[in-house]
Chain A
Amino acid sequence: MSASLSRSTKRIAVLAVALSSALVAAGCTSNDPATTPAASTQQASNAVSDNDAPGKKVVIGFSGPAADHGWLAAVNNSALAEAKKYSDIELKAAEGTNDASAQIAQIETFINDKVDAIVLLPTDGAALTEIATKAMQAGIPVINVDREFSSPFAARATILGDNYGMGVSAGTYACKIVKDKNLTNPVIAEIAGIDALPLTQDRSKGFADALKACNQTVDNRVAAEFTVESGEKQASNLLQAAPKIDVLWNHDDDQGVGVMAALDQANRHEMAFIGGAGSANAMRWIQEGKMEATVIYPPTQAADGIKLARLIAQNKGLSDLVQVEVPNRVVLNAPVVTKENVEQYLPLGFES
């Protein structure tokens, strides 16, 4: 892929390498200042790593879906906020859209503008693959966020939350509850998101696979639409369908507000209620004891995408890795937040 780099980029790359080696010589290479002799000076400047030091000015194009729910809003906002932290990033943020053809037009504009890198959270990975490949062929590195392209040639780097892993985390935790409470024939229910999306299918598959490990299956399943209203609606019907529920996994904490309203309305709090995504609301519920746990799906992916785009455009690597280039693929972990560790995750929680 480096073969497609333009000459000017190469020249700048050489410069960047020279600059960074100079910084290496100065001794500020690591994220762990205590191990370096120059620790005190580094702490004073408050730099995490030399990668954060201003480098070549880069223009990054950012395009994502319309932020129609809390998680996506958090994704967009954190991306914009991250870009502002760097004086060497000029961010061109396209208006969020749920229309794949409109998003394709945005990427075409970025290509015509000859931006240095594109961070793309596609409305639909497959639909945006063609145009992303074109951008790559034009020598613009594309960083694919969250929803994956259908071709490996369409992205220089891919950063994803782990949807399947989210399901596995939730399912494994459900198994733990079943085991801890010593339930013989537990009723396990699932409120999924939009069923047509691969991410929902992945989450459900992970959940089912993890439940298989403890010989359990999903007894009742409904699909909502990631909105508060649909969550309330589906949960109300679900509660009628299952007079008693032991474990309930709701894929998304935004629709979870509606699910919680339905649980309150029906006065049904007998089940261990597990959430998904990790909103601030969910974390507060966990603190209050109204919710058992939630599985994180990081809303900081696009922000990480911006960081990676900057590093790639400046020809830098990840400072914590020995490898000199940014990895092709970063899959984020899907940890379970419970009462024990909620304080640690609360700052990451997004307001829905």
Chain B
Amino acid sequence: MSADVTKVDQAGEPVAGRTEGEATATPSGPPVGGAAPRREGGLAGFLSGPAGRNAGLVLALLLLVVVGIITAGDRFASPENALTILRLGSVIGVVSVGMTFVISGGGIDLSVGAIVALSSVWATTVATQTMAANYHWIVLVFAALVVGAVCGLVNGVLIAYGRMAPFIATLAMLAAARGLAEIIAKRRTQIIRERGFIDFFGGSVLGIPVLVIMFAIVAVVGWVLLNRTTFGRRTLAIGGNPEAARLAGIRVQRQTMYLYILLGVACGIAAVMIMARTTTGTSTHGTLYELDAIAAVVIGGTLLSGGRGTIVGTVLGVLIFTTLTNVFTLNNLDTSTQAVAKGAIIVAAVLLQQRVSRTRSG
């Protein structure tokens, strides 16, 4: 096993952020830690590199901020509003970081919203809350994480060992998990009675909401995991070219399963966060999270086909969508216009991505 790891290291190291297959197929230029673009060709080359892609996203975000400041002035440019945006983005942000791993690994997970719902419901049932009242509110957190992990495990086993298409397996989980959440909650909204839980996760440390700190920690851990560990390199390897990864000695099935468990745990964390935000657990939590998360990941620059993933891009993607909603609300614009703008951004991002990949192959 250790021999396998070294192999991957050697193959993966120079191109963190690139696929194994491509790495071996186009050994052009010296490896520069993956941060700098490897291809000459001026602007297009720059844009195709991770730094360039992120610069584009930062530009888009800055544009939104400028629009916000012009149209809403101090109401937008206040520290409270900045924290509001971060707090609103934190839940979907955690899910999106997890989603980045699954998509980079060549998969997709449509069940994240349903898993968030099921975790939140399971963690707030009378039984769980009674247990929490007897011991500590941390029981709620464990319940949510365990439920998320188990759902992820089921997804992972079905996809990796059951050889089901990720789309289908997670679609099944989407239906089943939300259904189970409805059954357990009897379609009611379960109010959390543990004040300790609400106070902790609803509170702030040094003026920064705990939820935002959690998002930051998840993002940093995600970044390190994806960019600085063998786990991350294996993820990109199986996403880029599973066959090459297998030949390189990676246990593709096991790695695939790990990715879904990881995302499941992220959903559990998100469930804890949403429970704290809303003070409830209910089967309607996490509605359409799958689309929001996939959208954020894709506009962030992670390849939908796998093999390339960027946590920074995902975080920027989440912030762009959340800021967009905020700016629209501050200007009293309706949600329908918002949805159109959101759609336009996704299309623009994907078109840009296609251009980039065409420049690459051309």
B136 interface residue, CB < 8 Å from A? no
Contact B189 A228 (CB under 8 A): yes
Contact A240 B75 (CB under 8 A): yes
Q: Which of B218-226, B240-248, B260-268, B274-282 contacts A (4 or more CB under 8 A)?
A: B274-282
Residues from chain A with a CB closer than 8 A to the CB of B274 are 229
Interface residues of A in 224-242 (CB under 8 A from B): 225-234, 236-241
Residues from chain B with a CB closer than 8 A to the CB of A228 are 189, 278, 280, 282, 284-285
Contact A240 B330 (CB under 8 A): yes
Closest to B277 in A: A232
Q: Indicate which residue in A73, A234, A265, A281 contacts B329 across the interface (CB closer than 8 Å).
A: A234
A325 interface residue, CB < 8 Å from B? no
Query: What's the Cα separation between A195 and B336 when bound, in Å?
Result: 8
Contact A236 B88 (CB under 8 A): yes
A260-278 interface code vs B (CB 8 A; 1 in, 0 out): 1100110000000000000
Query: What's the Cα separation between A260 and B49 when bound, in Å?
Result: 45
Contact B189 A240 (CB under 8 A): no
Query: What's the Cα separation between A221 and B331 when bound, in Å?
Result: 10
Contact B284 A227 (CB under 8 A): yes
Q: Which of A15-23, A64-72, A104-112, A114-122 contacts B (4 or more CB under 8 A)?
A: A64-72
Residues from chain B with a CB closer than 8 A to the CB of A90 are none
Query: What's the Cα separation between A238 and B329 when bound, in Å?
Result: 7
B325 interface residue, CB < 8 Å from A? yes
Instruction: Tell me what chain A mostly uses at the interface: helix, strand, loop, or mixed.
Output: helix
B273-298 interface code vs A (CB 8 A; 1 in, 0 out): 01001111011111100000000000
Contact B277 A68 (CB under 8 A): no
Residues from chain A with a CB closer than 8 A to the CB of B287 are 225, 227, 229-230
B14 interface residue, CB < 8 Å from A? no
Query: What's the Cα separation between A226 and B285 when bound, in Å?
Result: 11
Contact B283 A68 (CB under 8 A): yes
B254 interface residue, CB < 8 Å from A? no
Q: Indicate which residue in B182, B278, B283, B334 contacts A261 across the interface (CB closer than 8 Å).
A: B278
Q: Indicate which residue in A240, A261, A264 contacts B81 across the interface (CB closer than 8 Å).
A: A240
Nearest CB of B to A303, in Å: 17
Contact A352 B334 (CB under 8 A): no
Nearest CB of A to B189, in Å: 5
Contact A237 B282 (CB under 8 A): no
Residues from chain B with a CB closer than 8 A to the CB of A131 are none
Residues from chain B with a CB closer than 8 A to the CB of A260 are 279
Query: What's the Cα separation between A281 and B190 when bound, in Å?
Result: 11
Residues from chain B with a CB closer than 8 A to the CB of A264 are 202, 279
Contact A257 B280 (CB under 8 A): yes
Q: Indicate which residue in A231, A237, A257, A281 contacts B88 across the interface (CB closer than 8 Å).
A: A237
Interface residues of A in 65-97 (CB under 8 A from B): 67-70, 73
Residues from chain B with a CB closer than 8 A to the CB of A234 are 329
Closest to A73 in B: B187
Query: What's the Cα separation between A206 and B233 when bound, in Å?
Result: 59
Query: What's the Cα separation between A265 and B276 when bound, in Å?
Result: 10
Closest to B328 in A: A237
Contact A236 B284 (CB under 8 A): no
Contact A243 B280 (CB under 8 A): no
Nearest CB of A to B332, in Å: 6
Contact B278 A195 (CB under 8 A): no
Query: What's the Cα separation between A51 and B311 when bound, in Å?
Result: 67
Query: What's the Cα separation between A257 and B280 when bound, in Å?
Result: 8
Residues from chain A with a CB closer than 8 A to the CB of B357 are none
Residues from chain B with a CB closer than 8 A to the CB of A265 are 202, 277
Residues from chain A with a CB closer than 8 A to the CB of B283 are 68
Residues from chain B with a CB closer than 8 A to the CB of A219 are 332
B72 interface residue, CB < 8 Å from A? yes
Residues from chain B with a CB closer than 8 A to the CB of A230 are 287
Contact A351 B188 (CB under 8 A): yes
Residues from chain A with a CB closer than 8 A to the CB of B284 are 68-69, 226-229
Residues from chain A with a CB closer than 8 A to the CB of B278 are 228-229, 231-232, 257-258, 261
Interface residues of B in 72-111 (CB under 8 A from A): 72, 75-76, 78, 80-81, 84, 87-88
Contact B335 A70 (CB under 8 A): no
Query: What's the Cα separation between A171 and B326 when bound, in Å?
Result: 26
A164-199 interface code vs B (CB 8 A; 1 in, 0 out): 000000000000000000000000000000011000
A292 interface residue, CB < 8 Å from B? no
Residues from chain A with a CB closer than 8 A to the CB of B72 are 241
- Find the residue from B84, B286, B329 having the highest chain A CB count within 10 A: B329
Closest to A227 in B: B284
Can you list 21 A-B pairs, Cβ within 8 angstroms, ordered by A?
A67-B187, A69-B189, A69-B284, A73-B186, A73-B188, A223-B335, A226-B284, A227-B282, A227-B287, A228-B280, A229-B274, A233-B325, A237-B326, A237-B329, A237-B330, A240-B329, A241-B331, A243-B75, A257-B191, A258-B278, A260-B279
Give the 7 A-B CB pairs with smallest separation, nearest first. Answer: A237-B329, A227-B284, A73-B187, A241-B330, A352-B189, A228-B278, A240-B81
* Beyond known contacts A233-B325, A240-B330: 4 more, CB 8 A cutoff: A67-B187, A70-B187, A240-B78, A351-B188
